[in-house]
Amino acid sequence: MRVLDDRTVAVPERAGNRRADGYRNILANPHVGLISLLPGRTDTLRINGRARLVTDAELLDTMVVKGHRPVLAVVVEIEQVFHHCGKAFLRSQLWEPESWAPDAVPSRARIAHALERKDEPLEELERYYSSDAYAAGLYPTR
């Protein structure tokens, strides 16, 4: 997220997001809520406002990461900013690794196989999601 001024922030589209349904939602109803988490902190920052999709070259040029420029950004005109207390994080022990149970839910590969990529063998998806190539694909080299 980039702070543009006291009343405006921009969230770039990054490789891997590509959630067109979310962008259609913004076009239909520009009211959005953003929540920001900072690992290790129990409080969160909430921003509510009106969003618009932009492809402004000057703005996008300021958001390049590892040589990759976003194709668009969601610009939010802030109407409300507030903090949530950390009670939910404290109760859930979210930042305490010894409390984590990652195997309590299906793996990303199993979810993809069941919902998105039914025609692909589960073994291939498990290899893909656990490979270095998956992480490297965040910012692929051209």
- Secondary structure tally for the chain: helices H, strands E: 6, 5
What pLDDT digit, counting tens, does each position of 12-34 carry?
988 766 666 778 889 999 999 99
Instruction: Tell me how far CA of residue 119 lies from CA of 11, 91, 107, in angstroms.
Output: 34, 40, 17
What pLDDT digit, counting tens, does each position of 36-71 carry?
998 888 899 999 999 999 999 999 999 999 888 998
Give the span between the Cα atoms of 27 and 121, in whole angstroms.
36
| pLDDT score for 131 | 78
| pLDDT score for 99 | 92
Give helix 108-115 / helix 122-129 axis angle, nearest 10°. Answer: 140
Give the span between the Cα atoms of 8 and 24, in whole angstroms.
21
